[in-house]
Structure 1
Amino acid sequence: MLQHPKVKGPGVGLLGFSKGGDLCLSMASFLKGITATVLINSCVANTITPLHYKDMFIPSLGSDPGKIVVTESGVLIFLDIWDNPLEELNYQSIIPLERAQGPFLFLVGMDDHCWKSEFYARIASERLQAHGKDRPQIIYYPGTGHCIEPPYFPLCRASVHTVLGQAILHGGEPKAQSRAQVDAWQEIQTFFHKHLNGKKSVPSSKM
């Protein structure tokens, strides 16, 4: 990325959503040149599959598929299937984000039905501070589900999971979700401009 002609440098920013979020946490923790990282409803532990990088290995956070809830309409709710990463058996799955060089911004949908995003953001904050690092910026969005997309995208309360081939519930209420997406778009830009360009403010988005 740093060699790309459109990348200003000297560092790059990462934006990760859901599973992509813990991949971005891992990249920020182990790769050089990453100056700022934004996570949208992400887990602080490695999920779904073990992570291998050079001589490093991070196991996947455990889960219990038996805790899947099926609604009357047949939509799945995954919220409670994931094990607690703070329990001793799962602690090794937590990504060592204290190794990262740059700051973090966590965007948390308080009606997320896929991840316990608020809980994971709190773990990240406590871990960073325990290692003498600055606490991350965390923005909480009440009534907002898992999919915080760019402004004016319609609310996606449920969708068919690519791997499972079944519909899963994301959560969110239309009005709250719409407002959250407009605000999050501006907050993401402000965060990246500050930590990549050194600008404290940016013009309001015209979207």
Structure 2
Amino acid sequence: MLQHPKVKGLSVGLLGFSKGGDLCLSMASFLKGITTTVLINACVANTVAPLHYKDMIIPNLGNDLGKLKITESGHFTFLDVWNNALEEPNHLSLIPLEKTPGPFLFIVGMDDQSWKSEFYAHIASERLQAHGKERPQIICYPETGNCIDPPYFPPFRASVHAVVKKAVFYGGEPRAHSRAQVDAWQKIQIFFHKHLNGKKSVRHSKI
């Protein structure tokens, strides 16, 4: 990535969503050349499968599928399935994000029905500050669900999940969610430009 002609500096930034978020946290924690990380509705513990890096293994955060809930429309929600990342032995799954050199931006949908995104963002904040690091930027969007896509993507509140092969409800009120997508996209660009390029502003969408 650092050799790519579009990369202007000596480092790159990462943007991760949902499970991709904890993968980005892991990359930023252990790989060189990554200085800026943006997480959209993500967990700060390793999830789904154990993470192997060199001679180290971070176990996956456990879950209890017995806590799956079904909405009135027949969709599954995963919000309460995951174990508490702060309790033993689940804390072993926490990603050591304090190892990263650069800043973080957490984008949080307050109606996320897949992850307790605000809870995880505050875990990250407390962990970073406990290690003498800068408090991360956290932006919360009311009535906004899990899938915060780029602007003008049709917001979808449910779909057949690629992993579990079942209809899953992600949350979000369409109008508020759509507005959050527009605002979050600008905030993400401003964050990356500031910390990677040294710029303070970006062009707004003309759509």
Q: Answer whether TM exceeds 0.5 for this pair.
A: yes
Question: 1:6-155, aligned counterparts within 5 Å?
Answer: 6-155=6-155
CA distance in 1, matches of 2:156, 2:196: 31
Match of 2:156 in 1: 156
Q: Deviations over 1:76-131 (max 9, x none)?
A: 01100000000021011000000001110000000000000000000000000000
CA distance in 1, matches of 2:138, 2:17: 15
Indicate the SS of the match to 1:23: helix
Q: CA deviation at 1:148?
A: 0.4
Match of 2:185 in 1: 185
- Which piece of structure 1 moves more, 68-77 or 182-191? 68-77
Q: CA deviation at 1:35?
A: 1.8
Indicate the SS of the match to 1:92: helix
CA distance in 2, matches of 1:193, 1:206: 19
Unmatched segments (≥5 aa) in structure 1: none
Deviant stretches of 4+, over 6 Å: none
Letter in 2 for 1:26: S
Q: CA deviation at 1:7?
A: 1.9
CA distance in 1, matches of 2:135, 2:206: 31
Indicate the SS of the match to 2:153: coil
Q: CA deviation at 1:158?
A: 0.3
CA distance in 2, matches of 1:191, 1:109: 18
* TM score, norm. by length of structure 2: 0.98
Indicate the SS of the match to 1:189: helix
Q: CA deviation at 1:8?
A: 1.8
Aligned residues: 207
What is the Cα-based RMSD across aligned positions, in Å?
0.9
Match of 1:173 in 2: 173
Indicate the SS of the match to 1:6: coil
Letter in 2 for 1:11: S
* TM score, norm. by length of structure 1: 0.98
CA distance in 1, matches of 2:100, 2:156: 32
CA distance in 2, matches of 1:10, 1:186: 24
